[in-house]
Structure 1
Amino acid sequence: MSALLISSLAWLLLGQGIKYVIDQGFVAQNKNALTYSLGVVLGVVIIGAISTYFRFYWMVWLGERVCADIRKSLFAHLVTLSPNFFENTRTGEIISRFTSDTTLLQSVVGTGVSMALRSLVMFVGALILMAITSLKLTLLVFIAVPLMLIPIRILGAKVRTHSKLSQDKVAKVGSMVDESLHEIHTLQAYNHQHISSKLFTQKVEAVMQQAKRRIHFRALLIAIVMVISLSAIFVVSYIGAMMVINNTITVGELTAFVFYAVLAGGAIATISEVIGELQKAAGASERIVELMQTQADIVDDGKIELQAPNKSEFALQLKNIHFSYPSAPKRKVINGLSFDVKEGQRVAIVGHSGAGKSTLFELCQRFQEINSGSIEVLGHKSTDISLDNLRAQFALVPQDAVIFAGTVSENIAFSNPSASDSDIRSAAKMAFADEFIQQLEHGYESELGERGVKLSGGQKQRIAIARAIVAKRPILLLDEATSALDAQSEQFVKKALEQLMLEKTTLIIAHRLSTVVNADSIIVLEQGKIIAQGNHADLYKSSPTYKEFVDLQLVE
């Protein structure tokens, strides 16, 4: 602000210097006065240039800083939202708000606001000096001001509306790019390139059509303001020239007045242009604020912090659980489910697809909120335990292993960032991943690429198992962790998991007979209900659903 005021005052003083040069130098034909005044004018220009440098530097830095802070806040908020939000919102849409929307705000704060503030100071200063130079001519200029406010008010709102619509369409383009590139194998396997290109072209053209409407209103706003402001300057200059002829004002005063009038007109034109930018940014900021104000479905109001080792007779107790997804509230996914899991016990869960097995894992970790009933973890209600602490009791190995873009070490240590190199290597050996890791170009420091594209399915799974091992958490959730492994690797990993599960409570979504046979207890789910529970031998005799499951496995 200091640099802004100094630079603006310097350019305003330039008008007085011009007036002095003309009246005391040219008109009076005084060489000394001319030399002195030109020297002063040059000094003022240098001061203005230096202060302009600092104004520009600090304002652009401010734009970058604001953009960085918004991105940090936005990301910190997003990672707290529940899976429901991401199921209903496309990833590309969110990425668009991170990139194009925040970049637009950066441009406006760093450049637009700077120009607007400078133009505002210049406009006010120019008006004051115009009034000092000639009050009559200044009053004539004021007639044009209300005429300029009308288009700014009407067209500015149009620009804002179309800017938001334009950003929404840009987000849809981003969503399609994100989706297509992530699923490029499927896209090319079904020769969908040409169809995808046509769909993409349609979306891009929709963005272009929306942009044309926004540009039309913005250009119209600038043009109208320029016509009004410059017309006012020409009319006032003509009246001023008549006053010089009548000796009412001097040539230097008229020149200074016109200089200030041009400054004021230029300032108004700049402000009108910046208003268009601000309206565009307002549309982007609405989208960011909308995302920031999205509330998490899961309210973290638990106060209990479980300390390891936290011993309890039961690791998990589910009591009369009822659950429906918010998107389909009438369809019960879990319906009156109750069972206990003792510490150190190994429980297998079997059932047809859609029986509610994976949902059960989500409920245990409180990724979804149950409709009624209660879940107790290590002797405490899950809602009474802080969310971070609750999830710190579980180590999850999903059926589709998740690999992040990073090194092998970073992926294994993802569950426990404080893990030492020896912990990471030990976990990899237990998961029988060490051998193939050593064969990678840089061993444990090898980059795995986005989503682990450099690994086979079985290798990804072993990395995920190593991650669960290094987490050192009391309860294991295994979504048939060996399903993606070849026969040899499966045997190795099963031995490692056997050692791991000796000291852990384990819930296993079972797809393979070998997993079921070794379980302490087997739960058979159907449409969210327990229809049978017991050991393998008893269930094979008493449960038709379980018998069907086992017989299919034996046939295979």
Structure 2
Amino acid sequence: MEYFKKIIRYALPYKKYGVLNIVFNVLYALFSTLSFLVLMPLLEVIFKPNSEPVTSAPKFEGITKLIDYFKDYMSFYVGEVAGDDKSKALMMVVALVITTFLLKNLFNYLAMFFITFLRNGVLKDIRDDLYKKTLELPISYFSEKRKGDIMARIGTDVLEIQHSFLSILEMLVREPLTIIFTIVAMLLISPKLTLFVFVFIPISGYIISLIGKSLKRQSDSVQQEQGYFLSLIEETLGGLKVIKAFNGEKGFNSKFQKSTKRFYNYSNSLLNRTNLASPTSEFLGIGVIAVLLWYGGRLVLVDQSLDGEDFIAYMGLAYNILTPAKAISKASYGVKKGNAAAERVLEIIETENPLADKPNAETISDFNEEIVFDNISFAYGDDYVLEDFNLKVPKGQSVALVGQSGSGKSTLANLSSRFYDVNMGAITIDGKDIKDLTKDSVRSLMGLVTQDSILFNDTVARNIALGNPEADQAAIEAAAKVANAHEFICDLPNGYETNIGDGGGKLSGGQKQRVSIARAVLKNPPIMILDEATSALDTESERLVQQALENMMKNRTSLVIAHRLSTIQKADNIVVMEKGKIVEQGTHQELLAKNGVYKKLVDMQSFES
């Protein structure tokens, strides 16, 4: 019940619907019992046509005589209206039975109508919290998780919670009250018969409970496997070109089929055990009914301590217990399945964000002096990528980072944007440690253009306006012109309103990069971080993009991570890195004159060219 309690707190904003559901469920449970009790006058009219009519209103003689009082009062009322006309009396009793059943079903519908708003509201809020937490958690969290598994939790696991935990809310009042009201009516008709029946109910309940003990473990296996093959689908769609190029279709197909085979086996085991609940509980219920028929028949025929019409109504009431009892039995299995889903969902929601803003975090709105990397060290795992690293980036200067792959260049960009936190040392902006500032305010000072142009399945205009959603069309077009993107955008079928497809798949590499640059230009931040922004471009695209970058970096502080050294010759300071340390720094001409590591890198690229 630990997870159920955590999930149920999501129902609090919708408690008014819960209250209305309870009210109508109480009325449903009451009329569910009454619908069988009103059969007694009907049966009496049919089976005892010559009985003497009740001519005076009966007197209430205590709770134990409630059923007799109810029968006599109904007979008196029918006799008052119908008189000696048995046909009219029969029509009245039939109308009463129909009205009772109608009200019972009306209250049932209203109870389900209001609980729908609560169930779907909880579903929406859990999904919203999951997605919000997904956006909040650091990038490092998702490097350890499969994307498909996250998708499975937001999709199928949340639905499982709705089908299991939230289904319980429907029956939390209705089914127990129906059973209670029915048992009270059964006790009032025949205490002896009811006590005899309830000797067998604990035995039935024990047998049913034995079936569901392993459901949570099996359900967890199903959900984990579903997360795995969703991840496989996501990876396949993302890398389809590479899979085909390397003839990897068979390998991926085999991997997927093994996963679906495991899912097939887990699902069969889970569903077969779950499906066993309904027939088992029904068979045991019929067993109880059979005992009732035997013992109750003796009370009518041998002892003659029970009227025939009362016994038939009693049997209807006894069968009325079976449906809610089966529902409660299935709900117990639902709780076990829901536990597995809730555990996976709450694992994300309750994950502590290591990059969360401090309670007293300051907001920074301007950049006036310098960015300082003060003796910082950082490791993704056990091996340090940066150790005792020191660097100053004064305002208005362009600082380029060069070096071989794995030297820590992109790590510096990630740390500057606070996608990760340093293990030791500090990164400061105008003397303030970025850990003491809000992430939003730090990132609002920065624009980012990466090697992989990350675009979204939306229009060109909305992709450019990501960092400034309020920008008007003129501002969007101005940013595109600075990025040398306006001309090709105008040639698209719908211009700026053209949808560029998943990941910007309808654009070329150079076009995607220029849209990314336009996005950074429109944001107009004082600090620009360029992570190998031109390395994936052809010569023509590189020329256009480089010109756009130079326009954008004028009078702006820039941290440029470069692969092609020809693009950073105008930088104010070029920092050469090896294994997380600075080995050289200076201007392009100063570093060439040193005839060191930088000169070798330039010569190698010149030779390759």
TM-score normalized with structure 1 length: 0.95
Displacement of 1:31: 3.0
Pairing 1:247–2:304 present: yes
Aligned pairs for 1:469-480 within 5 A: 469-480=521-532
Tell me the SS of whatever aligns to 2:470. Answer: coil
Which whole-Å CA distance do the structure 2 matches of 1:173 and 1:491 have between them? 43
Among 390, 401, 425, the alignment partner of 1:373 is: 425
Aligned pairs for 1:291-302 within 5 A: 291-301=348-358
Which whole-Å CA distance do the structure 2 matches of 1:194 and 1:489 have between them? 37
Who is 2:455 aligned against?
Answer: 403
Aligned pairs for 1:333-412 within 5 A: 333-412=385-464
Among 97, 101, 108, the alignment partner of 1:52 is: 108
Among 494, 507, 512, the alignment partner of 2:546 is: 494
Who is 1:454 aligned against?
Answer: 506
Contact 2:399 2:572 in 1 (8 A): yes
* Worse overlay, 545-554 or 188-197: 188-197
**Unaligned 5+ runs, structure 2:** 1-21, 51-85
Who is 2:374 aligned against?
Answer: 319
Pairing 1:416–2:474 present: no
Contact 2:165 2:338 in 1 (8 A): no
Who is 1:286 aligned against?
Answer: 343
Deviation string, structure 1 residues 123-179 (Cα, Å, up to 9, x no partner): 111111111111111111111221133234433331222112211111112111111
Who is 2:48 aligned against?
Answer: 27
Which whole-Å CA distance do the structure 1 matches of 2:111 and 2:533 have between them? 59
Tell me the SS of whatever aligns to 2:425. Answer: strand
Which whole-Å CA distance do the structure 2 matches of 1:54 and 1:63 have between them? 14
Tell me the SS of whatever aligns to 2:136. Answer: coil
Tell me the SS of whatever aligns to 1:441. Answer: coil
Deviation string, structure 1 residues 70-115 (Cα, Å, up to 9, x no partner): 1001111111111111100000000001111111222335655425
Among 186, 194, 198, the alignment partner of 1:142 is: 198
Structure 2 counterpart of 1:291, which letter? I
Who is 1:307 aligned against?
Answer: 365
Structure 1 counterpart of 2:327, which letter? T
Tell me the SS of whatever aligns to 1:122. Answer: helix
Among 290, 297, 316, the alignment partner of 1:259 is: 316
Who is 1:200 aligned against?
Answer: 256
Who is 1:118 aligned against?
Answer: 174
Contact 1:403 1:451 in 2 (8 A): yes
Identity over aligned pairs, percent: 31
Tell me the SS of whatever aligns to 1:335. Answer: strand
Aligned pairs for 1:437-448 within 5 A: 437-448=489-500
Aligned pair count?
550
Change (3 A) 1:499 1:522: same
Pairing 1:268–2:325 present: yes
Who is 2:603 aligned against?
Answer: 551
Contact 2:165 2:335 in 1 (8 A): no
Contact 1:351 1:524 in 2 (8 A): yes
Displacement of 1:227: 2.7
Among 493, 516, 523, the alignment partner of 2:575 is: 523
Among 205, 209, 215, the alignment partner of 1:159 is: 215
Who is 1:277 aligned against?
Answer: 334
Pairing 1:220–2:241 present: no
Contact 1:461 1:481 in 2 (8 A): yes
Tell me the SS of whatever aligns to 1:306. Answer: coil
Change (3 A) 1:192 1:551: same
Pairing 1:465–2:521 present: no
Which whole-Å CA distance do the structure 1 matches of 2:267 and 2:174 have between them? 28
Among 122, 125, 142, the alignment partner of 1:86 is: 142
Displacement of 1:4: 1.6
Which whole-Å CA distance do the structure 2 matches of 1:470 and 1:529 have between them? 34
Pairing 1:13–2:68 present: no
Displacement of 1:187: 1.8
Displacement of 1:362: 0.8
Which whole-Å CA distance do the structure 1 matches of 2:168 and 2:411 have between them? 49
Tell me the SS of whatever aligns to 2:319. Answer: helix
Tell me the SS of whatever aligns to 1:333. Answer: strand
Displacement of 1:421: 1.3
Contact 2:26 2:173 in 1 (8 A): no
Structure 2 counterpart of 1:19, which letter? M
Which whole-Å CA distance do the structure 1 matches of 2:311 and 2:189 have between them? 8
Displacement of 1:549: 0.8
Which whole-Å CA distance do the structure 1 matches of 2:208 and 2:528 have between them? 63
Deviation string, structure 1 residues 456-496 (Cα, Å, up to 9, x no partner): 10000000000010111110001132233333333233233
* Worse overlay, 285-294 or 461-470: 285-294
Which whole-Å CA distance do the structure 2 matches of 1:333 and 1:152 have between them? 58
Deviation string, structure 1 residues 482-535 (Cα, Å, up to 9, x no partner): 233333333233233222211210011111222231011110110000111111
Deviation string, structure 1 residues 350-405 (Cα, Å, up to 9, x no partner): 11000000001111111111111111113311111111111111101001110111
Deviation string, structure 1 residues 320-370 (Cα, Å, up to 9, x no partner): 111111xx22x1100111011110001111110000000011111111111
Which whole-Å CA distance do the structure 2 matches of 1:491 and 1:321 have between them? 35
Displacement of 1:415: 1.5
Which whole-Å CA distance do the structure 1 matches of 2:226 and 2:538 have between them? 44
Which whole-Å CA distance do the structure 2 matches of 1:297 and 1:152 have between them? 45
Which whole-Å CA distance do the structure 2 matches of 1:13 and 1:402 have between them? 65
Pairing 1:184–2:213 present: no
Which whole-Å CA distance do the structure 2 matches of 1:543 and 1:17 have between them? 105
Which whole-Å CA distance do the structure 1 matches of 2:210 and 2:526 have between them? 64
Displacement of 1:116: 5.7
Structure 2 counterpart of 1:273, which letter? K
Which whole-Å CA distance do the structure 1 matches of 2:467 and 2:374 have between them? 29
Which whole-Å CA distance do the structure 1 matches of 2:244 and 2:116 have between them? 43
Which whole-Å CA distance do the structure 2 matches of 1:371 and 1:291 have between them? 24
Which whole-Å CA distance do the structure 1 matches of 2:478 and 2:527 have between them? 20
Contact 1:431 1:466 in 2 (8 A): yes
Which whole-Å CA distance do the structure 2 matches of 1:470 and 1:203 have between them? 45
Which whole-Å CA distance do the structure 2 matches of 1:289 and 1:86 have between them? 16
Contact 1:116 1:270 in 2 (8 A): no
Contact 1:347 1:508 in 2 (8 A): yes
Contact 1:233 1:265 in 2 (8 A): no
Pairing 1:172–2:193 present: no
Contact 2:167 2:331 in 1 (8 A): no
Contact 1:144 1:228 in 2 (8 A): no
* Worse overlay, 531-540 or 466-475: 531-540
